Amino acid sequence: MKREIVVVGSINLDLVASSSRIPLAGETVAGSTFRTFPGGKGANQAVAAARLGRAVTILGKLGNDVFSVELRDSLEQAGVETGPVENVADSSGVALINTDAKGENAITVVPGANSHLSPVDIDANSELLHRAGIVLTQLEVPIETVEHLASFTRREGIPLMLDPAPARPLSPVLLSCVDWLTPNETETCVLLGRAERNLSQSELEDAANALLQRGCKNVILKLGRRGCYLALADGTRRAVPAHQVSTVDTTAAGDAFNGAFAVGLLSGRDPVNSAEWACAVATLSVTRHGAQPSMPTANELEDFLEAQSIGSKP
């Protein structure tokens, strides 16, 4: 069995301003701290999987600025292979993030170098993709690149996990190439062309079925502090709860989940068990600040789960 994870996606520097609440349009609020963290959905998922001990390679683009050095270092320190990541004549991707006292966030992403990842890069890295036990991608790189990747992985029989974030409608052809679709509630509503809101349990079940009908093989709805809901090709329907923790920063919780879920599958866990494990990894990530620095190692996860099980004993 092929054991490597290949991530095709974005690499950003996150510029994070914390304040008691996120400003409304036209409003200025006083912030309490400003920090920078390595981020980007692709890079975060790669780091999440590598910290859990998997071999991970990322295919993406960095700019020719000082940020690019820190961003590559962060990936490599986590053990991610960055050989296929080229520097291009542009700024590195950046994300302007506001976080509030409850750990919620609002993000503006400026893609910069990420927008240079093209279908040609997919073809040029076909050998790398053939080594993958699973390929992870998201929507912070050009949609034509994601579509080209998806038709490549489908043709070659390589499992593909698509995190449809940031939210946007997707073509039926793309959805039909996806083995694991992992939207949050907002992304689910946008994919289905429905009004954005919190979904009740029956609405979640209906939404997951509607996404399956659009052609993707398996759907995992990510539901923040409620955990996740699985709707699988074999008919399994299962809600998996998250652990209750004190939330510091939810940025990249979804990325922690995707990286961990892929590791779970490649380690031989079944999808439900992989989702339980990924929920634990993602929950631990929300107890820490920042995107990549919040991803736990396998040892940290073990300690967390042990503490949780001791805490839950009567």
Residue 5: how many CA atoms within 13 Å on its side-chain side? 31
Residues 286, 270: Cα–Cα separation, whole Å: 24
- Give one word for 176, left, alpha or beta, with left for phi > 0 and alpha for psi -120 to 50: alpha
Binding partner of residue 68 among ligand ATP, ligand RIB, none, CB cut-off 5 to 8 Å per kind: none
Are the C-beta atoms of residues 46 and 80 closer than 8 Å to each other? yes
Q: Cβ closer to ligand ATP: 247 or 267?
A: 247
* Residue 250 contact among ligand RIB, ligand ATP, none, beta carbon within 5 to 8 Å by kind: ligand ATP
- Maximum distance among all alpha carbons in the chain? 59
Q: Is the dihedral of CA 32, 35, 37, 41 positive or negative?
A: positive
Check: CB of residue 163 under 8 Å from CB of residue 139.
Answer: yes
Look at residue 220 and give its three-state secondary structure: strand
Residues 116-175 that bind ligand RIB (CB under 6 A): 140
Q: Provide the Cα torsion 247, 252, 258, 260; round to 10°.
A: -60
Stretch that binds ligand RIB, among 6-14, 82-90, 275-283, 304-312 (CB under 6 A): 6-14
Please identify, using beta-carbon distances, which residue of 121 and 276 lies nearer to ligand ATP.
276
Q: Is 265 in the site for ligand RIB (CB under 6 A)?
A: no
Applying CB under 6 A, which of residues 5, 9, 39, 262 lies at the interface with ligand RIB? 39
The distance of closest approach from Cβ of residue 163 to ligand ATP in the complex, given in angstroms and rounded to an integer, is 7
44 binds ligand RIB (CB under 6 A): yes
14 binds, among ligand ATP, ligand RIB, none (CB under 5 to 8 A by kind): ligand RIB
Question: Is the N-terminal amide bond of 166 cis, ω within 30° of 0?
Answer: yes
Six token digits for residue 105: 């966030």
The item of ligand RIB, ligand ATP, none sharing an interface with residue 56, based on CB under 5 to 8 Å by kind, is none
Give the single-character DSSP code of 241: P
Residue 231: closest CA among 205, 260, 249, 269:
205
* Residues 87-116, interacting with ligand RIB (CB under 6 A): 95, 107, 109
Span near ligand RIB by CB under 6 A; candidates 8-16, 200-208, 222-230, 267-275: 8-16
Rounded CA-CA distance 170/167 in Å is 9
Contact set with ligand ATP (CB under 6 A) = 165, 184, 222-225, 227-228, 242, 245, 247, 250-255, 257, 279, 282-283, 286
Q: Which stretch binds ligand RIB (CB under 6 A): 110-118, 203-211, 247-255, 260-268?
A: 247-255
Closest to ligand RIB by CB, 106 vs 124, is 106
CB nearer ligand ATP, residue 47 or residue 242: 242
Residue in 206, 234, 255, 303 annotated catalytic: 255
Looking up tokens 């994919």, which residue turns up? 191
95 binds, options ligand RIB, ligand ATP, none, Cβ within 5 to 8 A by partner type: ligand RIB
H or E element in which residue 37 lies: strand 31-39
Q: How far apart are CA 222 and CA 24, in angstroms?
A: 26
Q: What distance in Å separates the CA atoms of residue 175 and residue 202, rounded to the nearest whole number?
A: 23
Nearest-approach distance from CB 247 to ligand ATP, in angstroms: 4
Q: How far is the CB of 86 from ligand ATP (least distance, A)?
A: 26
Is 121 among the catalytic positions?
Answer: no
Say how many C-beta atoms besides its own lie within 10 A of residue 35's C-beta.
Answer: 14
Active site residues: 255
Q: Which residues would be at the binding site for ligand RIB (CB under 6 A)?
A: 10, 12, 14, 39-41, 44, 95, 107, 109, 140, 251-252, 254-255, 291
